[in-house]
Amino acid sequence: MLLILFAAGIVPMLLLSVANYFSGVRAVEQVLREDADSAAARIAHNVEELLRARESNLVGLARTGALAEYVRASVPPPAAPSPSASLTREGRPLPDGVRAEVKAFFGGYQNYYESVMCLDRDGRPLFRVTRERAADGGSGSASSAGEVVFQTTDFVMSSVRFDERVWGASTPVALRSGITPEPYGAAVRATVPVFGEGEAAAHGALVAEINLEELCSEVSRGYVSPDAPGAGAAARQVFVLDRTGRYVFHTSAALKHQFVTVQTPTLVPIAQRMTAGEGGLDFYETRNGERWLAAYRPAARGELSVAVTRDYGSAVAEVKGAGLFGIILSFVAALTVTVLLTLVARRAARRIERVAAGAAAIAKGDLDQRISIRSSDEIRGLAESFNLMTDRLREHIAREAETRQFESFTRLSAMLTHDLKNAITGLSMLVQNLDRHFNDERFRADAILSLREATDKLRRIVSRLTEPAKSLSGEYKRDIKPTDLIPIIKRVLATTAEPARPLYEIETTLPESLVATVEPERMTNVIENLVLNGMEAMGARGGRLTVEAGHDEEGRIFFSVVDTGVGMSDDFLRMRLFRAFSTTKARGIGLGLYTCREIVEAHGGRLDVESKLNVGTRFCVVLPSLPFTSSRGSRSGGHREQTRQTPAMTGERGA
């Protein structure tokens, strides 16, 4: 039996641990996928939005009145320059208003603009504005204005590149060119026509070089730290490719402006899909053999592709370590529980056998029989009660020799022996079946319920033994007193429902205190029976058990137990639910709910039920808010039906 219990205790827990292990790995992968894909989508969107914003700023500059007037009034030189020579001419001096407008524009966005050039109608430069770091080399043709440098002469015509479509534009709109490599990195040009007031044709244009590296760096800030790419639960990096497979931006500065095929050949398959304008999620391995996840999306109208990568191996390694630890811990816990359960079961069986033997001897008339049990549980109390019973019976027989007293003694012994034998028979069958059916979840649940019922029955027998005369006469004094039901509900849930929480979802809505005038032990039996019924109704498929308590609209005290089990039909609710020996369970005698209703009615309350097939069942105990006193003997013969049926439930199944 030890080997069977050992295997039965370990296998379920190991299976659960292994399932949690793989579930954790899948969950981490899903989180990484969602995080990377979401970040890639946001960065790609923000790149396009930032490009549009910069183009919109350039359109705003082209609309300024001072610049439009300056361009319109510019007189082109009399002869076009040679394409291979420098354009040297005396340009119109820049008015202070134009300088102020251009300076304010360029100064606010100089992290994105490498240069802004103004052209006349013939495509010749009027002036050029660059960052301060690109100041003139001392020729004197460039003038400094704060953080920007203005150039008005000595232009190199080969550097003048713009979109020819600008001369056919009818409104100020930004025309974006393709991505071109520049000494400082990748850039995109935006060309905007300049119109005079009331004019339909452009008489000039603005051409801006937008630094894509600076723009991508700004967008990526907040998603990953370039100085600590491995920080966080898993390393995350961002890079941007152009159509040629060159890194426009990378969180690793060493890879900027390099080709993927040269620096990171393991990324070539993903890079090919990126340069083709595709989006998706793929795994790849680094040169160090680490496994990474890459999510990529097209950006900038397909000219760029943004990718966010996550260190998949490091993230999953942590979950795998925790999963393996859980498997080992489950194995140790299962082994310990199995051994302890076996020892406890064997010791309990031996003690029960001794009590049964002593009870059988007493039933046969051996009043000198003494039952000796060395334990601190209910069985010892039962043995002591038997010994006390025999002592009192001997005294009673010695004092009373009349036939009536002797017959009473015989009847009491037979009654107690019968009850005890029933309990012992059930426990013996349970021990005998442990080695065959322990793997069956329904059997284990039924076994725990049977052990609890047998223990309660033995405890009641012990209680009856203390007052044998009252037990024979049928007298019973209820110990009704103000009792807080909340600790009782929590204790019942902790001992019956909480151990099964991996299978069942437990929800409670309980006040801090709920005092009712009841008999604590009997009301504990009611709560326990309703909770166990709800769990058994849901069975091995699991479900949700909801327990609520409080005061209803009329101020009465109530507590309810709701399950999402199989439910009951209207015919069963109406005809059989509270009748003795009627049950829908495969195992059981059908006295639980019958007894529950009897106890609740003895306290002046009622037991309501509402149920729906394949949805669930709800049992609600309603008790009076004031102390209740009544005699059970006042009830008339026959069964009195007090079940209140409520309308069929809608939505989720109640229990």
Fold held by 2-23+221-316 = Beta-Lactamase (3.30.450)
The 3-class secondary structure across 398-417, one letter per residue, is HHCCCHHHHHHHHHHHHHHH
Architecture of the domain defined by 481-634: 2-Layer Sandwich (3.30)
| pLDDT score at 86 | 37
| pLDDT score at 453 | 66
User: From residue 653, how far is each of 231, 262, 504, 538, 545 by CA, in Å?
Assistant: 47, 63, 15, 11, 11
Distance, in Å, from the CA atom of 516 to the CA atom of 522, rounded to the nearest integer, reads 13
- Sheet bearing 280-285, strands edge to edge: 247-250, 236-242, 304-311, 291-299, 280-285
| pLDDT score at 144 | 35
- Contacts of 336 by beta carbon, 8 Å cutoff, 6+ apart: none
Angle between helix 312-363 and helix 403-437 axes, rounded to 10 deg = 150
Architecture of the domain defined by 49-216: 2-Layer Sandwich (3.30)
Contact 153, 127 (CB under 8 A): no
pLDDT digit string, tens, across residues 532-557: 888 888 888 889 999 999 998 888 99
pTM above 0.75, yes or no: no
| pLDDT score at 557 | 93
Nearest to 33 by CA among 296, 304, 323: 296
CB atoms near residue 217 (< 10 Å) = 18
| pLDDT score at 619 | 94
Distance, in Å, from the CA atom of 289 to the CA atom of 321, rounded to the nearest integer, reads 19
Paired tokens of 322: 């925790």
2-23+221-316 against 49-216: fold identical: yes
| pLDDT score at 130 | 85
Ranges of residues in the chain with a pLDDT under 70 are 1-3, 5-10, 75-92, 110, 132-147, 158, 224-234, 375-377, 398-430, 432-437, 443, 446, 450, 453-454, 457, 460-478, 580-591, 627-655
The structural domains of the chain, with segments of one domain joined by +, span 2-23+221-316, 49-216, 364-473, 481-634
| pLDDT score at 85 | 36
User: From residue 16, how far is each of 5, 152, 319, 446 by CA, in Å?
Assistant: 17, 77, 15, 22
- DSSP β-bridge partners for residue 308: 238, 295
Tally of CA atoms within 13 A in the half-sphere of 393 that contains its CB: 23
Distance, in Å, from the CA atom of 140 to the CA atom of 156, rounded to the nearest integer, reads 16
